[in-house]
Amino acid sequence: MSGSVHARLARLAGTAGSVPITLFGLILVTFLIGRVMPIDPVIAIVGDHAPPDVIARVRAELGLDRPLPVQFGIYLDHLLHGDLGRSVMTTHPVTQDIATYFPATFELATTAIILAILVGVPAGVLAAARQGSRLDHLVRVVTLTGQSIPVFVLGLIFLLTFYVKLGIAPGTGQIDVAYDGLVEPVTRMLVVDAALEGQWDVFWDALAHLALPALVLAYFSLAYITRMTRAFMLDALAGEYIVTARAKGASGARIVWRHAFGNIAVPLVTVIALAYAGLLEGAVLTETVFSWPGLGLYLTVSLLNADMNAVLGATLVVGLIYVVLNLLADLAYRVLDPRTR
């Protein structure tokens, strides 16, 4: 039993031991995408309409007349100094843009994962404990749908239902136009900032705007988390120690939560970390549907404007977060499981 939970987890979490090499590979890949793949990397960065002197300056800056390894060295040097280049679209440094837009994504993703955990974990546990029951079938329908529907379609359907037809949710965006700019951007998470300042009108409006996109993302994560929880629990409930617990005269609830769930709690932490990482992808699409001013929207808009610096900068940052989350997932497992001590 525990062997297959281990094996499942090993498949999921991958290897974290090679983080520096992975990071290096990430940087190399973005370098190749940015400098080597496009036909003219300079045009990719400054756009078609840039004047010739700008083009010449950027070409010299990037060292495009130098050999590839030197170019990579320049790229690496810039990175280590926190310089991701300048965005053609916003004219700000990409690092500044990312700092501006990331908190909104963080707000959205964190709300979504919390909702997903609160609903998904108990649902998965109960579905496994009552395998074959109506609850189990309902859970399986929900998870299967969540795996099969595109996140942007779900977003559109939610908008249609709750905003257009039912009128109970506000429209797209992070805040109503009327309240825009009223709150001091401290954390840049509107809900938090409004609460910090005590501006409760703004707070409720921001929360209302957060609800729909968070629910859409939460449904996604929920599909994954519930499915994994249920699978882990089914494995755990088949173990011999469950027979022992029953033979001791423990009640059903105690067996399910103290014994079986206790055994999957650690692998579940890993699953949740991976689910959070997966939310980054979902955020790109959800932010586009809901015009949520986060990193995902920034990435999409940069793509449409062929703003290479911004695209690569955002890709690199997202990739970095992904790597860190995977590492945390693996570490959590090693640290928390008593069997690995």
30-69 positions binding other proteins, by CB under 8 A: 30, 33-34, 37-38, 44
Q: Is 147 in the site for other proteins (CB under 8 A)?
A: yes
CB of 155 to other proteins, least distance (A): 9
Nearer to other proteins, 86 or 193 (CB): 86
> Of the candidates 110, 102, 318, 325, which has an alpha carbon nearest to the alpha carbon of residue 213?
110
Count other C-beta atoms under 10 Å from residue 255's C-beta: 20
Contact 86, 93 (CB under 8 A): yes
Question: By the 8 A CB rule, do 108 and 217 touch?
Answer: yes
E runs forming strands in the chain: none
Name which of 329, 136, 339 is nearest 231 in CA terms: 136
Contact 302, 259 (CB under 8 A): no
Question: Looking at this protein, which amino acid is placed at residue 14?
Answer: G
Task: Compute φ and ψ for 132, nearest 5 degrees.
Answer: 90, -10
Contact assessment for residue 221 and residue 280, using Cβ atoms and an 8 Å cutoff: no
**x-or-dash pattern for other proteins, window 180-219, by CB under 8 A?**
----------------------------------------
Interacting stretch for other proteins, rule CB under 8 A, among 91-99, 102-110, 186-194, 277-285?
277-285
Verify binding: residue 85, other proteins, rule CB under 8 A: no
One residue of 18, 133, 187, 291 binding other proteins per CB under 8 A: 18
Nearest-angstrom CA–CA distance, 5 and 228: 10
Least separation in angstroms between CB 239 and other proteins: 7
250 binds other proteins (CB under 8 A): yes
284 binds other proteins (CB under 8 A): yes
Q: Is 168 in the site for other proteins (CB under 8 A)?
A: no
Of 51-59, 93-101, 200-208, 301-309, the segment contacting other proteins by CB under 8 A is 301-309
Question: Per the structure block, which two tokens stand in for 178?
Answer: 């009327």
Contact with other proteins (CB under 8 A) among 68, 244, 334, 335: 244
Choose among 33, 108, 35, 117: nearest CA to 69: 35
**Distance, CA of 151 to CA of 197 (rounded, Å):** 34
289 is a site residue for other proteins (CB under 8 A): yes
Among residues 148, 166, 177, 178, the one that binds other proteins under rule CB under 8 A: 148
Q: Residues 96, 133, 187, 251: which binds other proteins (CB under 8 A)?
A: 251
Minimum distance, C-beta of residue 313 to other proteins, in the bound complex (Å): 10
Choice from 20, 167, 198, 338 touching other proteins (CB under 8 A): 338
